[in-house]
Structures are given as structure tokens and as C-alpha cells.
């Protein structure tokens, strides 16, 4: 009974953390995706200006429904499976640092399977620049169209699965590994609640930012695979490594880091928001649930 209650707390706290994070940070995710897809974009400031000029404030929230719908199962999966994998890898002979990193890696890979269809729809919607809002399909309409035309597998709604697995696995490995290994050195909340919160926010920001730097080449590959292709009807980007190699060959090394600034601006603070919201909601549920 207690095990079930503990799992419920992890799921509810994880879902709450994800929902708060996406509502606050989604506009930066849109800018990041457009920079990764559009080879002609001149930078983040230009992308922000053109989006605001051509689509208005609402343009920054294109594709927000899929992540909102995905956040509860996605973050619930992330935090819940992290705790389960942590127990699995907590065996004699494996250091805590490796245990936490492996748990993060596996939780991210598990999370990726849940979130991949939502990511496919989100990227397609975010790529629709200058489109008349009345002509933009809803998330459900687009999902049905993708499934009808391309199928349910990795050539359809699960397109870019390997890149999503690599992206999420790498990010969670760095994020959880760094946060939980360093968190033990933070002053206890009983000694100073404000100092404890400040350090947790800072640590979450650093962990989210560093994880974003490490995993962004996989993110670029994912966006290219899931987004519209340069030549309609002909697929240029297929698999994770193939796409990364092609981007490097045609556009250079730094093209693999397109969208890094908005990604850090989103997932640095976003990483802090998620961990702090998760910790606080979890503590509340444990106290009153």
C-alpha cells in the first residue's frame, strides 16, 4: 500500500512540475525548433522579431497543446522511473554517482518512448511559419493526418524515435546525475530555508544548462527528421547519426548547436523550475497526502 502511495506521489509531483515548466517556457522551445529547422534563419533575435511581426504573440504558443497533453505522462514517467531505476542500480560495487547517472539515462530513454508522438506533432506545428491561424490544423487533426498518411511506426507518428531516445536519455543522465550528486552539499532547509531554495534553483539551472549543451546535436537531428523536408515528397533526413553527419557535412560543426541559446534559456530555468516544483509538491503530498 505504501509503495503504491509513494508511486502516486512521484507521478503527481512529476506531472505538476512538467505542466508548470511548459506553460512558462514554451515560447523559447518554439524559437529553438525554428532555428534548428530553418537553415536561412539569421539568429535568435531575428527569429523572435519575425515571429512577432508575422504571427503575433499567439505565434509563440504554436504547438503548445501536444507538450501540455504530454507533460503529465512525460514528467510523471521521468521522475517515477528515475526512482525505480535508482533502486535497480543501487547495488554494491556501483558508486552513487554512476547509479544516479544510469538511472537518469534509463528514465530519459523510457520517457522518450512516451513523448515521441507528441514531439512529432509539436515540431510540425512549430514549423508552420506565416500560416493563416485559421488554416493551421489542430493537434488532433495533424496527428490523425500523420497517422493516416505515414502510419504509426518510426516512419510516421514515431518518426525520430532514436533521436528522441538519445536526446532525452543524454539530457536526463547529465541533469539527474549532476543535481542529485551535488544536492547533498547544499545547506539543509532546516538551517536556512531561503538559502536551501536558492542553491537548489541555481543547481537546477546549471544542471539543465549543461545537459542542454551535451544533448543538443541529438535535438537538432530530431528536429530535422520530424520537421518538413527541404524538398517536399523526398526525405533527406532519416536516422539520428545520418542526420547529424549530414548537418555536419553540409553546414559545419556549429550547425549541430543551432538553437542552443533559446534551449539553454528554456531548459536552464526550466530545469530549476521542474526540480523545485517536484520537490515541493512531493513534500506537500507526503505531508498531507
Q: What residues does each domain of the chain span? A: 2-288
The predicted structure's pLDDT at residue 60: 87
The predicted structure's pLDDT at residue 132: 67
pTM of this prediction? 0.81
Residue ranges for the chain with pLDDT beneath 70: 1-3, 39-41, 71, 130-133, 289
Instruction: Reduce the DSSP state of residue 231 to 3 states and report it.
Output: strand
Whether 7 contacts 276, CB under 8 Å: no
The predicted structure's pLDDT at residue 64: 83
**Separation between Cα atoms, residue 289 and residue 276, nearest integer Å:** 19
The CATH number fitting domain 2-288, selected from 3.30.300.20, 1.10.630.10, 1.10.1200.10, 1.50.40.10: 1.50.40.10
Closest CA to 70 of 10, 115, 14, 24: 115
**Separation between Cα atoms, residue 160 and residue 73, nearest integer Å:** 19
**Separation between Cα atoms, residue 157 and residue 70, nearest integer Å:** 14
The predicted structure's pLDDT at residue 78: 84
pLDDT digits (tens, 9 = 90+) for 128-164: 876 666 778 888 999 999 999 999 999 999 999 999 9
**Separation between Cα atoms, residue 268 and residue 276, nearest integer Å:** 13
Classify residue 123 by burial, with Cβ atoms within 10 Å: 0-12, 13-18, 19+. buried
Long-range pairs for 2-8: beta carbons < 8 A, 24 or more residues apart: 5/289, 7/80, 8/285, 8/289
**Separation between Cα atoms, residue 109 and residue 171, nearest integer Å:** 10
Torsion sign (Cα): 186, 190, 191, 192: positive
The predicted structure's pLDDT at residue 61: 85
The predicted structure's pLDDT at residue 3: 66
- Length, in residues, of the chain: 289
Closest CA to 127 of 55, 73, 69, 70: 55
Query: In angstroms, what CA-CA distances link 91 with 94, 133, 180, 184?
Result: 6, 54, 17, 20
**Separation between Cα atoms, residue 160 and residue 36, nearest integer Å:** 14
Whether 267 contacts 259, CB under 8 Å: no
* DSSP conformational letter for 164: H
The predicted structure's pLDDT at residue 40: 65
Whether 206 contacts 183, CB under 8 Å: no
Closest CA to 125 of 136, 133, 112, 114: 136
Amino acid at each position: 500500500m505504501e509503495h503504491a502511495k509513494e508511486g502516486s506521489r512521484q507521478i503527481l509531483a512529476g506531472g505538476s512540475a512538467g505542466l508548470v515548466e511548459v506553460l512558462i517556457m514554451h515560447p523559447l522551445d518554439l524559437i529553438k525548433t525554428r532555428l534548428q529547422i530553418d537553415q536561412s534563419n539569421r539568429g535568435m533575435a531575428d527569429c523572435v522579431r519575425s515571429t512577432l511581426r508575422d504571427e503575433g504573440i499567439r505565434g509563440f504558443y504554436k504547438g503548445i497543446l501536444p507538450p501540455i497533453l504530454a507533460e503529465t505522462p512525460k514528467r510523471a514517467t521521468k521522475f517515477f522511473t528515475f526512482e525505480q531505476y535508482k533502486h535497480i542500480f543501487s547495488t554494491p560495487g556501483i558508486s552513487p554517482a554512476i547509479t544516479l547517472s544510469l538511472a537518469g539515462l534509463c528514465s530519459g530513454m523510457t520517457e522518450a518512448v512516451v513523448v515521441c508522438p507528441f514531439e512529432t506533432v509539436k515540431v510540425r506545428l512549430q514549423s508552420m511559419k506565416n500560416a493563416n491561424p485559421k488554416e493551421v490544423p489542430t493537434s488532433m487533426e495533424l496527428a490523425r493526418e500523420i497517422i493516416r498518411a505515414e502510419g504509426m511506426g518510426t516512419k510516421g507518428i514515431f518518426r525520430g524515435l532514436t533521436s528522441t531516445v538519445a536526446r532525452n536519455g543524454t539530457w536526463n543522465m547529465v541533469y539527474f546525475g549532476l543535481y542529485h550528486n551535488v544536492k547533498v552539499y547544499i545547506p539543509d532547509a532546516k538551517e536556512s530555508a531561503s538559502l536551501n531554495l536558492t542553491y537548489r534553483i541555481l543547481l537546477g539551472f546549471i544542471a539543465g544548462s549543461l545537459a542542454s549543451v551535451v544533448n543538443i546535436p541529438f535535438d537538432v537531428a530530431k528536429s530535422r527528421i520530424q520537421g518538413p523536408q527541404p524538398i517536399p515528397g523526398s526525405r533527406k533526413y532519416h536516422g539520428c547519426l545520418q542526420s547529424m553527419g549530414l548537418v555536419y557535412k553540409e553546414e559545419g560543426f556549429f550547425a549541430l548547436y543551432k538553437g542552443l541559446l533559446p534551449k539553454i534559456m528554456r531548459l536552464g530555468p526550466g530545469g530549476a523550475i521542474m526540480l523545485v516544483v517536484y520537490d515541493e509538491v512531493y513534500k506537500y503530498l507526503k505531508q498531507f497526502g
